[in-house]
């Protein structure tokens, strides 16, 4: 791209390019050059908007965390409607059907990125930690409505669902699991607490 040509929403364009690279090649091929090439812009564009590449990656992960938090608010708002199993199935499919699995690999493979993310996510794995909190909040709302057992430990159920979902979706080389598989798995995890 010629110098001096303005890029509309450069930040979002760079984030979308990084996501595509993560989804197709994984964290090992994600470089600043790969991102700017995929975005169709000069390498300097990334460095005009972010302090360095790890700063870019940290903002990408934080942006995806914010997306998960918005989805979590919508999920909690759905409490009392439909079925618990369907809501959880949809939430896990949406979470892991996106870039979440690749973000986990990215975070675990880059020490400097993990250090920067500890500023906002002091424990756990960013994106998954927030997703577990969103599921726990939704399950707590369903418990208050009497749709799951009063003694259901939502703080254990939520990360159990996240871990199980992650295992279902972790193989980037294979097709993602179908809705029926995800629903059957979710049903098995929550069967003992549904009312």
Domain holding 39: CATH number? 1.10.10.60
Q: Residue 28: which domain range?
A: 1-49
pLDDT, tens only, 87-146: 999 999 999 877 788 888 899 899 999 999 998 888 888 899 999 999 999 999 999 999
Q: Is the domain of 116 the same as that of 37? A: no
pLDDT at 5: 44
Q: Is the domain of 94 the same as that of 31? A: no
pTM: 0.88
In a 13 Å sphere around the CA of 80, the CA atoms on its Cβ side amount to 5
pLDDT, tens only, 64-86: 999 999 999 999 999 999 999 99
Please provide residue 52's backbone torsions phi and psi, each rounded to the nearest 5 degrees.
-165, 180
pLDDT at 172: 66
């Amino acid at each position: 791209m010629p110098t001096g040509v303005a890029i509309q929403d450069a930040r979002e364009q760079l984030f979308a390019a990084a996501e595509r690279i993560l989804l197709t090649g994984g964290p090992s091929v994600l470089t600043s050059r790969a991102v700017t090439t995929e975005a169709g812009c000069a390498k300097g564009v990334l460095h005009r908007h972010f302090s360095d590449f790890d700063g870019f990656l940290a903002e990408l992960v934080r942006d995806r965390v914010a997306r998960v938090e918005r989805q979590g608010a919508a999920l909690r708002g759905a409490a009392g409607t439909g079925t618990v199993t369907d809501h959880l199935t949809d939430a896990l499919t949406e979470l892991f059907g996106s870039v979440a699995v690749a973000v986990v690999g990215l975070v675990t493979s880059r020490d400097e990125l993990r250090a920067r993310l500890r500023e906002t996510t002091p424990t756990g794995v960013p994106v998954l930690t927030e997703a577990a909190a969103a599921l726990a909040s939704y399950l707590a709302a369903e418990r208050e409505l009497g749709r799951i057992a009063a003694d259901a430990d939502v703080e254990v159920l939520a990360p159990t669902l996240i871990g199980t979902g992650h295992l279902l979706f972790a193989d980037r080389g294979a097709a993602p699991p179908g809705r029926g598989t995800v629903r059957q798995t979710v049903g098995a995890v929550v069967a003992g607490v549904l009312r």
